Amino acid sequence: MKETVLKKFEEVFGDTEGVKVFFAPGRVNLIGEHTDYNGGHVFPCALTIGTYAAARVRNDKKLRFYSMNFEQLGVIESGIEGLKPEKEADWTNYPKGVMWAFGEKGFQIPQGMDILLNGNIPNGSGLSSSASVEVLTGAILRDFFGFDVSNQDLALIGQYSENKFNGVNCGIMDQFAIAMGKKDHAIFLDTADLSYTYAPVKLEGAKIVIACSNKKRGLGDSKYNERRSECETALAELQKVVDIKSLGELTEAQFEEYKSAIQDETRVRRAKHAVYENQRTLQAVAALSANDIALFGQLMNASHVSLRDDYEVTGIELDTLVEEAWKVEGVIGSRMTGAGFGGCTVSIVKDEAIDSFISQVGEAYKAKIGYAADFYVVEIGDGPVVL
């Protein structure tokens, strides 16, 4: 891939003098969905697929961007000064947002850049192509301008840029999983205080398979912000009767005891998901460390049911992928992953069942939905690197 992006960079920008190549992974969340902005735990891992960039510093204030994933858009230009989100800037609002956020945090970017991207994460899939671009941009800026920022800082700056520049009220999980990725480990992260541990993921005789529904969605215009505000309202109602800072502090029993304080049946279900999903995540990580992959799979399945029935973020595409996966012998667990409303599912599948899983689920999905899903057998990889 390094040669591919360098060759294209030369084609688009004339030469490759002063160019460096960078990589940041995508991520998948194994369990703990819509808990990250509710003060709960998440359990994501970085992938070996992600976003590559060839980049160099310019002698002026001009920014020139090119993506091999959106070649029809050509070179998109802007300047390093007066950065603001613009509809016509399209995907470049993500790297521009990070440049703006660096400035807001006291790291002024002195010169413009030429940046060419090529991602092998499916766009809009829920594997965090946007967060991958954000962390990647941060890594580029740190390298070229010598900013003293850690990988954890890159995650926080990426989240800040997505919240404040791009207007998506996302939690910290995506950027954190990408910036802090570690090969063959998932990250057990407490989003309330950013304490984390690495947990080895040993799937003897099984692999992680991602199914992309190919239903496109945009986070900012989905019901993501709506779900978030339903949880915030439910939390405020609960705080009248119990001393908590977040839904993630409650056990299932405490939730059942206090839930009558929530004034609306829909909000009860939203809050229930946040509380129960957090507890499932704690149980799942314990199961993994005890080598109980069967229990881990059962908790994944229960997570999907809760996301479907209580949180209502799945939709027919994701439900079809998961319900068909559950029918295949050799599937240990399957659930939607990411924000929902399209995007991907994540399944743990025994090695000998992978081919039949892909053909059975793929055929059933196409018959019901009318177009094909894509399947990726993935490995867990490291965080951002200079290649």
Q: Give the domain ranges of the chain.
A: 2-200, 206-377
pLDDT at 343: 87
Q: Write down the catalytic residue from 15, 174, 184, 310.
A: 174
Go through 336-347 and write b for each residue having 16 or more CB atoms within 10 A of its CB, e for each that does not: bbbbbbbbbbbb
Count the Cβ atoms, other than its own, within 10 Å of residue 185. 18
pLDDT at 218: 57
CB contact at 8 A, 347 and 357: yes
- Amino acid identity, position 367: A
43-94: pLDDT as tens digits: 999 999 999 999 999 999 999 999 999 999 999 999 999 899 998 999 999 9
| Cα-based distances in Å from 259 to 125, 166, 264 | 34, 34, 10
Total residue count of the chain as it appears in this document: 387
DSSP 8-state code for residue 362: H
324-356: pLDDT as tens digits: 999 999 999 999 998 888 889 999 999 999 999
Go through 213-226 and write b for each residue having 16 or more CB atoms within 10 A of its CB, e for each that does not: bbbebebeebbbee
| Residue labelled with tokens 């580029």 | 140
**Are 2-200 and 206-377 the same fold in CATH?**
no
Phi, psi of 23 (to 5 degrees): -140, 140
114 is known as an active-site residue? no
223-277: pLDDT as tens digits: 888 999 999 999 999 999 999 999 999 999 999 999 999 999 999 999 999 999 9
Query: Is 300's pLDDT higher than 60?
Result: yes
Pick the CATH number of 206-377 from 3.40.50.300, 3.30.70.890, 3.40.109.10, 3.30.870.10: 3.30.70.890
pLDDT at 338: 86
Look up the CATH number of domain 2-200: 3.30.230.10
DSSP 8-state code for residue 123: T
Phi, psi of 59 (to 5 degrees): -90, 0
Which long-range contacts (C-beta less than 8 Å, at least 24 apart) are formed by 190-198?
190/40, 190/41, 191/35, 191/36, 191/37, 191/39, 191/40, 191/41, 191/42, 191/248, 192/39, 192/40, 192/245, 192/246, 192/248, 192/249, 194/152
pLDDT at 220: 46
pTM: 0.89
Q: Which helix (H) or strand (E) holds 375?
A: strand 374-378
